């Protein structure tokens, strides 16, 4: 009888664990995304990536996509007039990328501060400020859609520039911005 009790308790414990692990208590995976703005959803994707929540998330030119452990997908559309770009400046190593995966893309220069300028097609400074890369080595920019820019990033004696665009299905993962040491005459 004691053995049967232990078996029943074991089956109940395994069953409860599976039930909770697969969304017990009626929990809807991705319910945390309900009502969030695109900027809030992107911030949450970055947070979940740092906390290793097991949620795959990526950024396209049109939306932020979340794929949960139960394989359900939630999408948060980006604004019609604005697009997000993830930028990972580098000195020594990078990776080729077009679609930014918050859950797996990693840049070389994590948690570092940079001076950033976004220059429009007319040569005017559209935005300028200091940014800090996240733990994944990326910083994010939200820019108006349908435009071309030149992105300039500086850190100490290092500088890099790269053209970027928010036209059509533009890449959301900018990993080709190499910082090079300026000479004394620069």
Model confidence pLDDT, tens digit, residues 102-127: 999 999 999 999 999 999 999 999 99
Q: Is residue 27 part of a domain?
A: no
Q: Is residue 10 part of a domain?
A: no
Q: Is residue 136 part of a domain?
A: yes
**Tokens at residue 58, please?**
């990526």
pLDDT over threshold 70, residue 4: no
Q: Is residue 64 part of a domain?
A: yes
Q: Is residue 20 part of a domain?
A: no
Number of domains in the chain: 1
Nearest to 146 by CA among 169, 130, 127: 169
Task: Name the band, by pLDDT with cuts 50, 70 and 90, for residue 30.
Answer: confident
Q: Is residue 30 part of a domain?
A: no
pTM for the whole structure? 0.82
CATH assignment of the domain containing 105: 2.60.40.3700
Determine the structural domain holding residue 69 and report its residue range.
36-186
Q: Is residue 13 part of a domain?
A: no
Nearest to 108 by CA among 57, 170, 176: 176
User: Is 25 or 185 the better-scoring residue by pLDDT?
Assistant: 185
Q: Is residue 141 part of a domain?
A: yes
CB 65 within 8 A of CB 75: yes
Task: Name the band, by pLDDT with cuts 50, 70 and 90, for residue 18.
Answer: very low
CB 152 within 8 A of CB 87: no
């Amino acid at each position: 009888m004691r053995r049967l009790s232990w078996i029943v308790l074991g089956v109940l414990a395994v069953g409860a664990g599976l039930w909770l692990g697969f969304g017990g208590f009626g929990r809807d995976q991705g319910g945390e995304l309900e009502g969030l703005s695109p900027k809030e959803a992107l911030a949450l994707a970055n947070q979940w990536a740092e906390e290793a929540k097991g949620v795959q998330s990526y950024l396209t030119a049109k939306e932020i996509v979340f794929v949960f452990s139960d394989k359900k997908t939630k999408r948060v559309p980006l604004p019609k007039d604005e697009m997000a770009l993830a930028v990972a400046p580098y000195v020594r190593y990078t990776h080729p990328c077009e679609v930014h995966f918050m859950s797996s893309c990693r840049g070389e220069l994590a948690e570092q501060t940079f001076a950033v300028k976004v220059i429009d097609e007319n040569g005017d400074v559209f935005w300028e400020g200091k940014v800090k890369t996240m733990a994944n080595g990326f910083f994010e920019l939200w820019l108006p859609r349908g435009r071309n820019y030149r992105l300039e990033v500086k850190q100490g004696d290092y500088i890099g520039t790269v053209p970027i665009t928010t036209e059509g299905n533009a890449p959301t993962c900018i990993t080709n911005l190499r910082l090079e040491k300026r000479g004394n005459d620069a």
